[in-house]
Structure 1
Amino acid sequence: MDEPLKLPQQCPSSTHEVIVVLEDVHLSIGGKIDTGSRSYELISYHSISKPDEIRDRVQCASVVIATQAFITSDSLGEAPYLKCIITPTAGINHIDVEECRRRGVKVAKCTGSTSLAVPDHALSLYFAARRKTVLLHNDVRTLDEEERNSWKRQGSIATKMQTANGHPPYSIDEEVVGIIGYGCIGKRLSVLCQGLGMEVLVAERKGVTSIERTSKESVIRHPFKDVVKQATVLFICCTSSSDTKFMIDAAELSTMRPETVIVNVSRGNILNTDAVIEALRKALISGVAVDVFDHEPASTTKDSAFLAEDTKHLNLTFSPHVGYFSTKTVVTMEMMVKNHIKSFVAGNFNNFIV
């Protein structure tokens, strides 16, 4: 549904801010915003994502809140008043930071804003993939002409839960967890997994053989290739960049254990989706669960090869990029966004990327 263009009562100036929220479907900003001595107007849209729609709506803005909307030279247009862009997330792959730098536009992200919810969600995806919950659910709901499902016909479908090498699924205390990306989310995941009795291996950055670490970091990092080879569960929670695109490709998949389940709560392009699907077909790995896709919102193969009709029989578990959503994270994101606005108005850019 097209959302009508909303115009401010007053254009931005040295004494007045116009704050535009492009997607309050993800985060709604309520209550008072501290803009010091400056007045402000808040304009919110439910979901603006197309470049031309973004362009039309940021022309009157001095501050833009963009959760997933792509901020590029094209989607910004002239944007004569724009001075600041804030994302409520920790990821900034949807913002052309260099273009913002060229324009003199400040950029801020909310590091750690989702670190309480995303690890929980990652674990829920792990359990669903390991226990093949989606496939079993579909089997129970699929009836033949005699109104029997496979369970009724066979007496048991427990063997459907077997790993790619034909073994029963691992119990929690048998799992070797590999964590790729040891930021706020990775650290929280490590604590949760260890609390459940899992062995945890934190991966070094891909291609790095040795690196100086501060004495404050007590965790031992293992070579990336070793973690990929040893893990029975691989959690991907690193940031998206040119260095991490297709970090998991055919070469990495070929070295994995057949019991391996991959859980991606980072960004879709960390995985080479075609290679992952081929690995599942060849029984090189046991399952994949993702909360992120190549193009979002995702609904067809144009958005992700995972969504092809001929992948329905594979052990794939999906959620629609909702891992961040919880009571605490919504409150935290709103608070952090408001704090960034306050800092921007005060001229305090210590926590800004640009």
Structure 2
Amino acid sequence: MNILNISSIIPLKGLKRENDIILRIQDYLKDNYGYDFTIAMSLPYVPFILSLINDKWKKYRDYQHKRQLKVQGHDTVIYPWLLPPTSNFWLNYFLIPVNWVWYIFVVQKKIFQEAKNADLLLTQNLIPDAILAYWLHKKYDTPYIINIRGKSEKYWYKLPVLRSVIKNASQVITHSPTNYQLFKDDYEIELVPHPVDDIFYFDGNNEYSYPKLISVCRLLSLKNIDKVIYALSKLKKQGQNFEYCIVGDGPRMKSLKELVIELGLVNEVSFEGYLSREKVAAQLKDSNVFIMPSNPETLGRAFLEAAASGCLIIGHQNTGVDGLFTHQESAIFVNEDTVYKGLKTVFENLNTMSNYREKSQKIVKNLKWDKIGSIYDDIFTKSYNQ
């Protein structure tokens, strides 16, 4: 089966680092089930004059001129879309009629061969991915699957055009427990979390004599790592001992390091920067509490990897893995104002929360590659045969 994966979140050299999980899932399904994938990736259209102003826009234009390239070994066709320099939903929505004309005169020519040869379309975002899939479906009668990623609202799919986009999809899936809870009463939607690599599963016993915390994430404001640092400062003043390892890089790195110095936590908090998957696995197995109170968070694969490694999970309520894990059963969920309270509870009860860790670890044992691969195979087969 030939699948055209219409995705605007593929990692491209020289642009913002994107998660490569989509490509890794493709690799697994190709190797184990024989699917053939081609990627159609959108980039904002950049006229020549704008490419002289901004390095990122210049890179967009350079990629668009290539049209076809290999991304980590995957055949990828680049097509331009008329997008504003913002992710604002309404701006992108009101540009749909303009992009329809753009599609007719520009985009169709760019992806004609790939679209014509596809047996199934798989989309990874609403705009432009699912929009393009819907238009290709109308032209070629090719079935398409919508994967609802990112922060979404139910009313979006009741708007003109978008109502037809979701109505005509052969299946709707999401890797996000938040989106699943949001849409499950209105649409037939299947939750398919990201698979967890074998290297993260740990059957040994973590050291729980004192808290060894870890966060693995891009250092962005929405991750709320500063809230964790402030909470830990208060706990240190109360005589609590702990270690806190921050893995990842990002625009907040400098300010977070300055905050650690300001609060006198240089002996407790370490910054490891970006690490390979293997080194992250080793760090997780040397920790016992994973904390990432990010909001919003569509899933957070690091939560799953940390649970597989035997860490107690602390996340943000009503987002991320809340819904896959349960508060005070398999995880602790807090908000921006209760990070300190949540950490204090964990610090005081770390040795008695083994049942939380066991339950979350049991949940992620069902997320190994073979099980998630089988789910995707069933979804693709069902969609193709409809």
Q: Which has the larger share of strand? A: 2
TM-score, reference length from structure 2: 0.32
Q: Which has the larger share of helix? A: 2
TM-score, reference length from structure 1: 0.34
Higher relative contact order (CA 8 A, sep 6+): 1
